[in-house]
Structure 1
């Protein structure tokens, strides 16, 4: 699927109810973690961290922290046993983050205040990473996000848990909504509002279906990611690579990683 449409997603809208946004993010966190969506990119992330001398991932646009715990476990049992992850977002999901913080004995931390991914405070250290969120940005904003990392001299990785195929759209319309209805009672931390907006007034599943399909249509393919990176880094100070990696059981992850050439 080569087409890219800059359609709207509900969760991007400032007026969107916080309880519904949180419920959608919690569902994504649960699914991404249980399916080990981002395990295939851990070697790429670890290489970027090694090249830049970092042991901490600074996750931008973290949502509810989907995949953070799984990625942390893979880093710690593999190349980086002291790895940590710091979660940030323009809309902090504190309940979910506190749950991850407690469950990982503090190895996953968070910034309780809003953090703009286009203007990250220089005192926030770490290899910057964006999971399942880069497609939310229009081309000028996506370029600005990458440029902010380049100007700060920080390594950055962009990871999307899909390969941009029409089959993924079909799954988002059929299988995944059924799965959401089945697993919602088991998502932690427990929330009555999540149950209400799933089964009584089903805004969470309906908006998840829409946003999931739109996310796939907004996804940047590898060549577009490289083009954005080169515009953000016109002097070629960074080493960039983009592509797709595949799970053993089929699904793909699209990625872009970059770090200063002096550390390549």
Structure 2
């Protein structure tokens, strides 16, 4: 699917209730982590980290941190990345969810509690930047600005979307995934009564998740568009860029873009 529609997602809206946003983010974290959505990109990220000499990852637009734990622990199994640390940031921080990840990883995953704009990351937050399941939120001008900020500060960046942009994925968002959400919600941690209320009594979390999940796929940039954005953000070609898709052994795809300074 090459079609890209710049529709809106409720979780992007400043007035959207924080309790609903948190419920949606917690569900996504649980599903992405449970399905090991981002395991196929571990070799790509390892190569980029070694090429840039980085042991620090700065995740921007982290949401609730879905998939980060599995990827971080997989990378630390390589001796050359045994000291890897991850810092989670977001414009809408989720400290309760992030603290859970920090506890589960004995501090391998940390976080910045203050809001962080991915288009202008403060210099005191170093590291190879990653964007998981969030780059599609940015329209082209903002997406370019996000990449340009990494180029300006001379830090590598990896953009990863846990889908291949297919119509089948939209069908799953309408059918299978809502049923899964109803089944797994009681097991999501940290426990929140509000999550149960807005899932089963007033089902706003599932309804908004269906809308945002559908729009996410329609807003995704395919690899050729990711490369075009990167080249516009880096017209002097200071970075080496690579884009494509990698596939799970059981079928699903991950779309990616990586960039690193040529001088690295």
Same-fold status (TM-score > 0.5): yes
Match of 2:3 in 1: 3
Match of 1:133 in 2: 134
Deviations 1:10-69 (Å, cap 9, x if unpaired)?
A: 000000000000000000000000100000001111111111111111000000000111
For the residues of structure 2 that align with 1:137 and 1:251, how far apart are their CA atoms?
A: 23
Three-state SS of the structure 1 residue aligned to 2:169 is helix
Match of 1:248 in 2: 249
Superposition deviation, residue 246 in structure 1: 0.1
Match of 2:172 in 1: 171
Q: Does 1:32 align with 2:32?
A: yes
For the residues of structure 1 that align with 2:13 and 2:60, how far apart are their CA atoms?
A: 18
Three-state SS of the structure 2 residue aligned to 1:223 is helix
Match of 1:145 in 2: 146
Three-state SS of the structure 1 residue aligned to 2:99 is helix
Aligned pair count reads 263
Match of 1:107 in 2: 108
For the residues of structure 2 that align with 1:158 and 1:232, how far apart are their CA atoms?
A: 14
Instruction: Output aligned runs, 1:20-169, within 5 Å.
Output: 20-78=20-78, 80-169=81-170
For the residues of structure 2 that align with 1:197 and 1:47, how far apart are their CA atoms?
A: 42
Superposition deviation, residue 73 in structure 1: 1.3
For the residues of structure 2 that align with 1:40 and 1:56, how far apart are their CA atoms?
A: 20
| TM-score using structure 1 length | 0.99
Give the unaligned 5+ runs of structure 2. none
For the residues of structure 2 that align with 1:62 and 1:237, how far apart are their CA atoms?
A: 26
Three-state SS of the structure 2 residue aligned to 1:262 is coil
Three-state SS of the structure 2 residue aligned to 1:89 is coil
Three-state SS of the structure 2 residue aligned to 1:144 is helix
Q: Does 1:213 align with 2:217?
A: no
Superposition deviation, residue 77 in structure 1: 1.6
For the residues of structure 1 that align with 2:125 and 2:43, how far apart are their CA atoms?
A: 23
For the residues of structure 1 that align with 2:240 and 2:133, how far apart are their CA atoms?
A: 22
For the residues of structure 2 that align with 1:68 and 1:216, how far apart are their CA atoms?
A: 20
Superposition deviation, residue 255 in structure 1: 0.1
For the residues of structure 1 that align with 2:197 and 2:19, how far apart are their CA atoms?
A: 10
| TM-score using structure 2 length | 0.99
Superposition deviation, residue 262 in structure 1: 1.2
Superposition deviation, residue 122 in structure 1: 1.0
For the residues of structure 2 that align with 1:2 and 1:229, how far apart are their CA atoms?
A: 18
